[in-house]
Structure 1
Amino acid sequence: MQWSMRTWTELPNDLAESQQLAILPIGATEQHGPHLTTGMDTVISDRLCLAVAEKTNVPMLPTIPYGCSLGHSRRWPGTIALQPMTLITLVKEIGDWAYYSGVRRLIIVNGHVTNAAPLRCALEMLRAEHDDLMVAVVNTAQISERVSKAHCADAQDWHANRAETALMLSVAPDTVRPHAIQDADDADRTVDLVFSHPVNRTSTNGVTGMPSLATREEGDELFAWMVEDLADIVEKAKRENAPLPHSYFSS
């Protein structure tokens, strides 16, 4: 069910069977401490959405590997960040063209926390322009209560922490640097702060949390929860219609 692997003659039937629903995964390219690779957010979004697409028979658009990672600063090499307006424009134009291809329900699956604000802006623009397009943004770490609880277990402002390290041990173990995990732990210094500080002022090594506690087994369980709970959202989205039929453009 990968959009990029389908032909123009196949996609109309794919969308008819999915109730005109498609999934758009978005990640980031940014530092993830000394033990995880810069593609972590993209890998999770991609693997998660691929599993859900196969489970629900919903087409998955190609994964966007860049996001709004400005908060990670230039202290550590590896981060490639988009400006918020760039991400808004990119997602808006992808949404436009998906609409022209027949998509009328679009779930944007976001794998990086600070993509959320630009993606909400893109959502506003898409639904305002296309009266019959329904758009949702789902953050991978907040798919459900159990998924959110697992992500924040060792840090409220988590990053490259126990949960993310466990996930990568599960779905992409070759991207984890075992020799660097034990010394990667770093405290969450964001509790009770008024301002939103960049990571260079809250972390010594780009990590927030306790990756040394991660195991592959808990990563397997967490990823299974994410697939199950996102698939439930997708199935619900297939059936959902607007509560009222009123047009955006007229009374």
Structure 2
Amino acid sequence: MEKKVFHPEMNYSDFKENHFDKVILAVGSAENHGFHLPFGTDTLVAQALAMEVAKRVEGVLVLPPVPYGVSFHYQDFPFTLTLRPETLIEVLKDVLTSTIEQGINRIIIINGHDGNIAPLEVASRTIKVKYPDAVIAVLDAWWVKAGELLPKDTFEVWGGLGHAGEGESSIMLFLYPQFCRMENARGVVPELPEGPDIKWKFNELTPYGATGDPTKATAEKGQKMFEVLVDYVVSFIREMDREGWKYGLKKKI
């Protein structure tokens, strides 16, 4: 029988029998992803990564995902729902606090959405100060990390980047092809000047709700992305387990 790792599917007996000492939390969004990907793309991908990691590493409990994110900058495209940054920070702080006070202080977060990066930074650092024995590790931009881990010729356009672009569309085609309508896929590589980052609204970059080139997406590319990301997080957790989740000066004590 396949081991249970997903909190909503478990009861107290399941929890006690599995001896969980780590948790993994997916944080996503509910927003437009072009004309071809589902509104829940960011949550679906982050949760799929979390579940696969937990299946491959002992002692990892997958928490219920956070399905809303900070998406003000996408709200010109329907049907986007958004939290205020301060709301997401407080939600994350509460979830992290509850987890630690329930006795697990080894926490991995997989983020699926760019607008969540700053709130995650604020929330996790705030909780780290309050609970210094906790270890909180955040994969804040899997779409960037996949491009760093894969061969440079994996993607055809813009390094696979883009909101609902080549990379994100590929991983969705691999994981959830039933939710994709690729016949409607359109995107554009935005023209941005070199220099400090411009804080854009998405309708300034594309008329399609997508950037990059989703028409270049394939399930094969998506499988490579998924596998390399899972391997990356699994390797991290196994290394941390070997080191007793100690790092920096603590490793020398």
Q: Same fold (TM over 0.5)?
A: yes
Q: Deviations over 1:180-221 (max 9, x none)?
A: 02xx02122234264211101111111110111111111112
Matches within 5 A, 1:42-121: 42-57=43-58, 58-73=60-75, 75-121=76-122
Aligned to 2:6: 2
C-alpha distance 225-59 of structure 1, shift in aligned 2 (>3 A): same
CA–CA distance in structure 1, aligned partners of residues 41 and 117 of structure 2: 17
Aligned equivalent of 1:229? 232
1:166 to 166, 170, 178: 170
Is 1:199 the counterpart of 2:202 in the alignment? yes
Could you give the per-residue CA deviations for residues 13-70 of structure 1, whole angstroms, max 9, x where no partner exists?
Answer: 5445xxx221111111111101111111111001111011101131111111111111
- Cα 1:102–1:153 shift into 2, 3 Å: farther
- Partner amino acid, structure 1, of 2:105: R
Asked if 1:241 is matched to 2:216, the reply is no
Describe the SS at the equivalent of 2:133.
coil
Q: Which runs of 5+ in 1 are unaligned?
A: 246-251
**Runs of 5+ unmatched residues, structure 2:** none
Q: Partners in 2 of 1:118 and 1:147 — Cα distance? A: 28
Aligned mates of 1:70, 1:167 — CA distance in 2? 24
Structure-1 separation of matches of 2:14 and 2:103: 12
Pairs aligned (count): 239
In 2, the alpha carbon distance for the partners of 1:35 and 1:143 equals 23
CA distance, structure 1, for counterparts of residue 164 and residue 240 of structure 2? 31
Is the CA contact (8 Å cut-off) linking 1:25 and 1:108 kept in structure 2? yes
Task: Say if 1:199 and 1:3 are closer, same or farther in 2 by CA, change over 3 A.
Answer: same
Contact 1:141 1:147 in 2 (8 A): no
Q: Distance in 1 between matches of 2:128 and 2:70?
A: 22
- CA deviation vs aligned residue, 1:85-118 (integer Å, no higher than 9, x gap): 1111001000111011111111111011120110
Counterparts of 1:132-211 in structure 2 under 5 Å? 132-139=133-140, 140-143=142-145, 145-146=148-149, 154-155=157-158, 158-181=162-185, 184-192=186-194, 194=196, 195-211=198-214
Alignment of 1:23-34 (within 5 A): 23-34=24-35
Alpha-carbon distance in 1 for matches of 2:215, 2:238: 36
Q: What amino acid maps onto 2:38 in structure 1? A: T
Instruction: Give secondary structure in 2 for the equivalent of 1:65.
Output: coil
Cα shift at 1:244: 3.5
Percent of aligned pairs with the same amino acid: 27
